[in-house]
Amino acid sequence: MLSFVIPAHNEEQHLPATLSAAREAGVQCGEPFEIVVVSDSSTDRTEAIAREHGVRVLSVAHRQIAATRNSGAREARGDLLFFVDADTLPNAAAVRAGIETLRGGAVGGGCIPVFDGVLPLWARLMYPAFVVGMRTFRFVGGCFLFCTREAFEAIGGFPERYFAAEEVGFIRSLKGVGKFVIPRPTVVTSGRKLRAHSGRELLALAGRRVVRGRKLLEGREGLAIWYGPRTED
């Protein structure tokens, strides 16, 4: 069975579209599937919306994306795990490619994101290089990742010591136990962070990452892009 694991913190604006897209993709693929929403410390209608859509709901208080994804994976029943961010729209082509990839012998993979809406100029200029880098080094963002349950359990899931960029460690670990594939289909995800934060802010974050190394990622301090006040479109 296929399990969509959707971590969510106060995602009442984006979650309905994500749930509808996941359900439609699952139906089109013709596979048994379930949708598990993991509400992490939500104070809005995230959990109510998930229940209205008839999906499984797990409430946690981690306020940390790695731990939230891991909780969802433990709750899920499927042997194929698809981790989908609450502001990302899975589609049948991407899901089907993921299923074929895993059943073809790979342990995991992910799809390259296409950002919705109008992006600032700096982001539009950088995006082509971003895509080339992902395909060259076989790394993708965490908005749409998939793996077998066997591989997930073998590597211990997402590294919970990190509050951001946890997908990097996750992918590295998957590569250590088998093949990691980036199929051709893409997925649409929200570009809200790119619209809410300037290129200068992101460059400053990259600089702090260089200076402090992985220590920067081991707490919420300095990671306002993920844990600060959120600007919605």
Instruction: Output the pTM of the full model.
Output: 0.92
3 state DSSP class of 112: strand
Span 82-97, average pLDDT: 99
Decide if pLDDT at 205 tops 60: no
Q: Looking at the predicted structure, is the pLDDT value of residue 3 above 90?
A: yes
Residue 75 has pLDDT above 90, yes or no: yes
Residue 103 has pLDDT above 80, yes or no: yes
pLDDT of residue 82: 99
Q: How confident is the model at residue 202 (pLDDT cuts 50, 70, 90)?
A: low
Nearest to 165 by CA among 117, 222, 115: 222
Mean pLDDT along residues 74-87: 98
Q: Residue 233: is its pLDDT beyond 60?
A: no
Local confidence band at 25 (pLDDT 50, 70, 90 cut-offs)? very high
Residues 40 and 20: beta-carbon distance below 8 Å: no
Above 60 in pLDDT, residue 153? yes
Number of residues assigned to the chain: 233
3-state SS of the chain: helix, strand, coil percent to 5? 45, 20, 35
Rounded Cα distance, 107 and 103, in Å: 9
Residue 162 has pLDDT above 60, yes or no: yes
- Token look-up 């919705």 returns 116
Residue 170 neighbours by CB under 8 Å, 6+ apart = 66, 142, 145, 155, 157, 158, 159
Q: How confident is the model at residue 5 (pLDDT cuts 50, 70, 90)?
A: very high
Query: What pLDDT, on a 0 to 100 scale, did the predictor assign at position 104?
Result: 98
125 vs 127: CA distance, rounded Å: 6
Q: What is the pLDDT of residue 224?
A: 61
Q: What is the arithmetic mean of pLDDT over 173-179?
A: 98
- The yes/no answer on whether domain 2-191 falls in CATH 3.30.1360.170 is no
Residue 70: name the closest of 184, 156, 179, 181 by CA. Answer: 156
Quote the pLDDT of residue 168: 93
List strand residue ranges (DSSP E) for 10-168, in order: 33-40, 56-60, 80-84, 88-89, 108-110, 112-115, 144-148
Q: Is the pLDDT of residue 138 over 60?
A: yes
